[in-house]
Amino acid sequence: MTDYPTLITHNSSPISRLYTPSKREECGIFGVFGNNDAAKLSYFGLYALQHRGQESAGIAVSDGCQVREYKHMGLVHDVFKEDTLKSLKGHLAIGHVRYSTTGASLLANAQPFVVFHGNEYYGIAHNGNIVNAIQLRRELERDGAIFQSTMDTEIIMHLMARNLKYGIEEALVEALKSVKGAYSLVMCTRDKLIAIRDPRGFRPLCLGEVNGSYVLASETCAFDLIEATYIRDIEPGEILIIDRNGLRSLKPFPQVPPAYCIFEFVYFARPDSNIFGQNVYLCRKRLGHLLAQENCPISADYIMPFPDSGNYAAIGFAEASKIPLEMGIIRNHYVGRTFIQPSQAMRDFGVRIKLNPVKELLHGKRVVLVEDSIIRGTTTRTRINALRQAGAREVHMVVSCPPHRFPCPYGIDFSTKGELIAASHTVDEIRQFIGLDSLNYLSLDGLLEGARATSSNHSFCLACFTGDYSIPVEEPVRKDCFEQQRS
Task: Give the tens place of pLDDT for each residue, 260-314.
Answer: 999 999 999 999 999 999 999 999 999 999 999 998 778 999 999 988 889 999 9
**Any idea which residues carry the catalytic annotation?**
27
Q: What is the mean pLDDT of the chain?
A: 87
pLDDT tens per residue, range 410-439: 987 665 677 899 999 999 999 999 999 999
Please give the DSSP secondary-structure letter assigned to residue 209.
E
pLDDT at residue 170, as a whole number:
95
Residues annotated within the binding site for [4Fe-4S] cluster are 261, 408, 461, 464
Task: Please state, in angstroms and rounded to a whole number, the distance separating the CA atoms of residues 349 and 38.
Answer: 41
Question: Can you say which residues are annotated as belonging to the binding site?
Answer: 261, 408, 461, 464
Phi-psi region of 322 (alpha: psi -120 to 50; beta: other; left: phi over 0): left
Domain limits of the chain? Answer: 14-259, 279-453
Question: Using CA atoms, how far apart are residues 440 and 270, in angstroms rounded to an integer?
Answer: 25
Q: Among residues 149, 136, 141, 145, which one has the least CA distance to residue 104? A: 149
Q: Is it true that 14-259 and 279-453 share their CATH fold?
A: no
* Residue 165 burial (CB count, 10 A): 9
CB-count burial class (<10 Å; 0-12, 13-18, 19+) for 424: exposed
Instruction: Please compute the mean of the pLDDT values over residues 306-330 and round it to a whole number.
Output: 94
pLDDT digits (tens, 9 = 90+) for 21-77: 344 446 999 999 999 999 999 999 999 999 999 999 999 999 999 999 999 999 999
Architecture of domain 14-259: 4-Layer Sandwich (3.60)
Q: What is the predicted pLDDT for the residue at 333?
A: 74
Amino acid present at 225: L
pTM: 0.88
- State the CATH architecture for 279-453: 3-Layer(aba) Sandwich (3.40)
pLDDT for 4 beyond 80 = no
- Note the pLDDT of residue 24: 45
Backbone torsion region of residue 4, taken as left when φ is above 0, otherwise alpha when ψ lies between -120 and 50, otherwise beta: beta
